[in-house]
Chains A and B, each alone.
Chain A
Amino acid sequence: MNRPDRPERLEDDLRNALRRQQPPLGFEARLMARLAAEPQPPSVWARVWETASAWFQAPLFARAALAGALCLLVVCGVNYEHRQVQRVRGEAAKQQLLLALRVTGSSLREVQESLRQVSADYSNAQ
């Protein structure tokens, strides 16, 4: 490994290494031409079209299996959503029912208390 003998030598080496260099003649034009020549990545629609084409080219049983799986997924999803809605509605109805029974209970308890009071007053008057 070459080690510089003197610090001045090191500086010269670094200056040479980091010196600005002009690109070769015609570099830019060649670069642009090469970029233009390279194939562009396909767009999203192109990929969708490719997938759709592949679907129609696939064997019938594969298409049927995939369609069945998709249908099953949709049915399960709809069923789950329906059950969730029913559960929320049922819980709300249950809370309403319990509230109604509490109000009923409270009203009946008050009636009983009133009757007890009337009874006590009646007994005292006797």
Chain B
Amino acid sequence: MKLLVPLFVLAACTAQAQLLKIPPSFDQLAAKADEVADVSLGPDMLGMAAAFLSDKNPDEKAAKQAVGGVKGIFVRTYKFAHEGMYSEADVELLRAQLRAPGWNCIVNVRSQKTGENTQVCFFAQKGQPGGMAIVTAKPKELAVVTIAGPIDAQHLGALEGQFGIPRIERDSKPKKQDKQDHPDE
């Protein structure tokens, strides 16, 4: 029984670190998908991974700085051979969680042309940043990224230009971008 207690604590920590609860139906999607990527890095594994990141490699150095305050990274991606391999209800279970208190979706992209539907949401609790989530649903692709822990501009800035993360052009003049954040409005 004494041995079970640390396991329960570890499971509770991991569950807490995982901001979004992946619906059980996603496990069945893996069987249908051509390509699946499933990454679950809790606090301990993240710490271990960070310890093995080199300071000499610019990519790894940026990653090390970015994951400094992060408690967990959870990624699920599915690539399908054909359209209609997943149902809208599967994704809706995730989106419903993003409408819960604490979540603030700053970007909603919905394209009729490409069928893409993406949300970028941030989680905050008592004014403190608690993480972020990106849910991307395309006709042949589904991706869910959850990063638990404080993510601020400085962390994201460290990853700018690395790992395909876009380099944000900073300008002194304010650009006409305010309406971009809510294109479907």
Residues of chain A touching chain B, judged by Cβ–Cβ distance below 8 Å, are 86-87, 89-91, 93-94, 96-112, 114-115, 118-119, 122-123
> A93, B180: Cβ atoms under 8 Å?
no
Q: Residues of B within 8 Å of A, CB-based: how many?
A: 43
Residues on the B chain within 8 Å of A91, using CB: 52
Residue with the highest number of chain B CB atoms closer than 10 Å, among A87, A94, A96, A100: A100
**A101 and B159 in contact (CB under 8 A), knowing A108-B166, A111-B109, A111-B134?**
yes
CB distance A109 to B165 under 8 Å? yes
Q: Are the CB atoms of B49 and A108 closer together than 8 Å?
A: no
Cα-based distance from A24 to B45 in the complex (angstroms): 85
Q: A97-B46, A108-B165, A111-B107 are in contact. Are A90 and B37 (CB under 8 A)?
A: no
| Pairwise interchain contact A90-B120, C-beta atoms closer than 8 A | no
B49 and A97 contacting across the interface, CB-CB below 8 Å: yes
Q: List residues of chain A with CB within 8 A of the CB of B116.
A: 110, 114
Q: A102 to chain B: which residues have CB within 8 Å?
A: 163-164
Known contacts A98-B59, A114-B116, A104 near B52 by CB under 8 Å: no
